[in-house]
Structure 1
């Protein structure tokens, strides 16, 4: 669930949940204050003040009944005192008058107010129901009757109307407090749940950022979420991985740079030492004959050529390593191209006594995309590497072409000394020599196969080697077919 949806649902819940809970609480509290308004066959629940009103009304009805059927009983003080005592406990009061004179007045009413209540009752008699009289909150209702001696009597019922108002205030205050509590709890719980689902992954990202700041890039950032924070965590993890890989490559490049400087120094030192020795010999007068001078001059020329070739290889490899050497890919038919390479090699004096064989196992012409010039350099570097290690009387180099699903495979195999299995994975590394002593003697810089690998990969192919010590080496590489709408072109 996205954060946007989660927040929207939480906002809706913040409105709906308090309203529903408030309605339920109001339905539960209302009968406790006001009683059941619509009882359904069961006894209605009545709050305390409702019970008080009911009992007070029953006492009023009882006094009215006595006044109508046995009015002289109201002349007995014990009955009036007992009834008034009950009324006072229920928020009521009683006044009984005979011929306009007060016969009994409840102690709860001040004597100065008795006549006012009686006068007000007469004035308000024409109105409906109870009437509010003064600040004490009493309302009064009167009932006339006749004593046994035919004298007129009046009973006044006083009720404290503040109880209903106070109850309403309590009910309103209770409901408002309940609403505030419900809103606070709902918002608090929802805010806690939503914020925790957001803040917790943010803390995880903050911790990961601190780890990265301290240089610790080994710890992955896994939020295991599918929302926006999950996407942020995935982007953060991708950044960490790329940064880790960038630093690793930077360290590797630094190591390679140091190795490159060391290898260049070593490889250049050998021919320079030879040139220096020849020059010193000529300066010391050792070359006192024309033959000796020519010998030393030829040696200087050979060493100079080795240095020049090494510098060219270094320059070419650096351009390949920095991806600054462009590739001019074009359609090449491999069988014809390899045949032209073999024809060129047969004219090379170094190939004297070496048998060159070309085999097309595909049986058809294979059209590949390649850079002719750089492919020529690859093949020559592989052949040069083979010539350095040929130690048998019968020497041969075989070139083979095979068809794959998406690329053609070209292999060059020789019957030289071969390469040890532990050294085989490293032969395409820069400045690597499977046999350092022999390779240095032969003038190799250790960059030939490294350049070949860079050039093949730059043309979209791959290169690998197979070898068995004493039986020769087989180096193979692939080149992709020409892309066409109908599939690969062969």
Structure 2
């Protein structure tokens, strides 16, 4: 049986069965109650309206008793001082779910409470004596915890003292009221059941059938290789959670597919970059070798120049191959770190000394400033930090566009860290490019016709090494003025013995 058929049958049962049984119960109870009212209280012409009107019913069942009390007060008010008369009157009222209270001046001389009320609270709630004549046959409603209808009869005793007789009718203990509540409850129950059935059926349909349809459509799209859609959010039930999980799966599949495409694109770009950057020195090497073979370098000076150039180009190729090898280790998280205690002063002095020879040949001035105490140490891999410095300096050299270039290296003590600053007077980096320079393969000059070369992974290697050391790297730059690269390493601090 299909789900829609089951839902239809469920809907019919939820509607028809409650209505049928409620109607039968309502008819039987209402007929019984009208006969009981007629027999017990002598009220003729009872109807559904009489049963449902609580004040009218309470007023009618004590009307005769109130009229008798009123007549008695007019002819013999001192009768309300007679205990025997008050007991008989109260007994008659008890058959009508009521009782008598008599007050002389401010003193209550008779209280026929049947323990349905708190006597102190009741007496405090009774109305005061009325100096003007008024017909209180209808009664006054007292709410709160009492829930009673009070009829008040004001009169004067023979000695001139004011008196008041009250007929107190308990609403909570009245059979007509109970039956009225039953009728009202049944009617409300029917309405609730109808609307509940409609809402429940619609909710079940929406929470089951609709999400299943969405799942079917989404599954078909994924089967066809389409991941560019969004699964509608489900509810808080199991099917809603299934839809949420399905959307998460689709999103991850899409991210995986996009990452795969991006990886393929980057690999193609890397191959293209490496091919271009290898071709340039190889072409130069071949040219100088052919010059030697053809006798162009016919003097010892020329031969030495050609051989030195070939040597430098071979070093460029070796550096490029090493960079590519290191990049593959980054992807597999297999960078071979050897951490050790490094004296900051001695280490950076050695690095600057090595760089000065290379920069001097390229007519670039190198300045070194050390603001760190002699005993400051860091825990780092000396070889990898040297790679960081070389990559940053090499990147600076590529983009120095001034006739006289300079590179300043500053080492500073910044609290718990050692901060290294490498400044150049190159062409600078545009503001829009600055947040991207540490991304893999990102080049501010994307043209492959550029003479700058480089694979575009040098600064991404810098970021990876520094972050693996627990540090941070960033840059500031101003176009046509220069760039400053910063990185920090945490200082080594001995923990005092306790």
Smaller-chain TM-score range? 0.5 to 0.7
Match of 1:350 among 327, 350, 358: 358
Q: Quick check: 1:427–1:433 contact (8 Å CA) kept in 2?
A: yes
Q: Which moved more, 1:250-259 or 1:473-482?
A: 473-482
Aligned-pair CA distance for 1:262:
1.1
Structure 1 residues 394 and 459: alpha-carbon distance in aligned structure 2, compared to 1, 3 A threshold: closer
Instruction: Go from structure 1 to structure 2 and tell me whether the alpha carbon gap of 1:292 and 1:374 turns closer, same or farther (over 3 Å shift).
Output: closer
Name the residue aligned to 2:287: 277
1:142 aligns to what? none
User: How far off is 1:30 after superposition?
Assistant: 5.9
Q: Distance in 1 between matches of 2:406 and 2:297?
A: 39
Tell me the residue number matched to 1:26.
Answer: 24
Match of 1:398 among 409, 417, 420: 409
C-alpha distance in structure 1 between counterparts of 2:379 and 2:209, whole Å: 54
Asked whether the 8 Å contact 1:419–1:472 carries over to 2, the reply is: yes
- 1:25-44 matches, cutoff 5 A: 25-28=23-26, 40-41=37-38
Matches within 5 A, 1:400-439: 400-401=411-412, 403=414, 408=417, 410-421=419-430, 423-428=433-438, 429-430=440-441, 432=443, 434=445
What is the deviation of 1:372? 4.1
Question: 1:365 and 1:44 mapped to 2: Cα distance?
Answer: 108
Is residue 245 of structure 2 the alignment partner of residue 235 of structure 1?
Answer: yes
State TM-score, norm by structure 1: 0.54
Is the contact made by 2:376 and 2:492 (CA closer than 8 Å) also made in structure 1?
Answer: no
Q: Is the 8 A contact 2:207 2:235 kept in 1?
A: no
Matches of 2:446 and 2:265 in 1, distance apart?
22
What corresponds to 1:300 in structure 2?
310
Structure 2 regions of 5+ residues with no counterpart?
Answer: 1-9, 39-43, 48-192
Deviation sequence 1:141-171 (CA, Å, 0-9, x none): xxxxxxxxxxxxxxxxxxxxxxxxxxxxxxx
Q: How big is the shift at 1:482?
A: 8.5
| Cα gap change, 1:459 to 1:209, in 2 (>3 Å) | farther
Distance 1:364 1:297 in 2: 42
Query: What does 1:66-145 align with in structure 2 at a 5 Å threshold?
Result: none
How many residues in Structure 1 have an aligned counterpart in Structure 2?
A: 328
Task: Tell me what 2:348 maps to.
Answer: 341
1:322 lines up with 2:332 in the alignment: yes
What are the superposed Cα offsets for residues 359-382 of structure 1, whole Å, 9 maximum, x if unpaired?
A: 35xx99988775443223212322
Q: 2:258 is matched with which residue?
A: 248
Superposed displacement of residue 216, structure 1? 3.7
The answer for the alignment partner of 1:208 in structure 2 is 218
Largest Rg, 1 or 2: 1
Q: 1:453 and 1:383, CA in 2 relative to 1: closer, same or farther beyond 3 A?
A: same
The RMSD of aligned alpha carbons is 4.7
1:420 deviation in Å?
3.6
CA contact (8 A) 1:419 1:467 kept: yes
Cα displacement (A) at 1:248: 1.6
| Structure 2 counterparts to residues 44-59 of structure 1, below 5 A | none
Assess if the C-alpha contact under 8 Å between 2:282 and 2:313 holds in 1: yes
Q: Distance in 1 between the 2:489 and 2:195 partners? A: 70
